Amino acid sequence: MIDLQPHLESSLVILEPLSFRDYDDLYEVASNRNIWEQHPSNNRYTESGFMQFFNESLNSSGAVVIRDRASGKVIGSSRYKLIDGTERVIEIGWTFLAIPFWGGEYNRAIKKLMVNYILEKSGTVVLYADKNNIRSQRAISKIGGDIVKELNFKHHHPLKSNLTFIVKERIED
């Protein structure tokens, strides 16, 4: 079975298993309302919204905290999830970053670590993005994600429509 909470490092970031001790530092990042403006769960900047998200992340056994390698500071989190009914299809999602780390090399470094790890260990990587979340769709496309279908996502938001992306190849520099 693949470890869904690996310790991964690059020259920019360190990903390590999420723990209770990360709550305060991660909430400091998540409390910025602008991070969540295009997200279906746009209340995660509130203490109650974040606490629910954080607890779900801890209970998932697939969440990682993201640290800036240079400073050691927490800059976000992400999560792996084995797709139900499969043995080799892993979702990468629930990713958020502090705004100063948006739009470029940090997201690419994070996704490179996460995608390449799964492709080496498992098989298939999928990502979902809300149909209206253009920011996430662009970020997924930048790492080589191809839209494979649109679906009604009934997990948390039964009225929301999502796009499913698949990444088939390693992310190279």
Q: How confident is the model at residue 128 (pLDDT cuts 50, 70, 90)?
A: confident
CATH code of the domain containing 152:
3.40.630.30
The least confident of 22-31, 46-55, 149-158 is 149-158
Backbone angles phi, psi at 95, to 5 degrees: -85, 135
3-state secondary structure of 144: coil
- Give domain status of residue 1, yes or no: no
Q: For the chain, how many structural domains are there in total?
A: 1
pLDDT of residue 152: 47
Give per-residue pLDDT as tens, 58-77. 999 999 999 999 999 999 99
Residues spanned by the domain of 72: 8-167
**Rounded Cα distance, 69 and 66, in Å:** 9
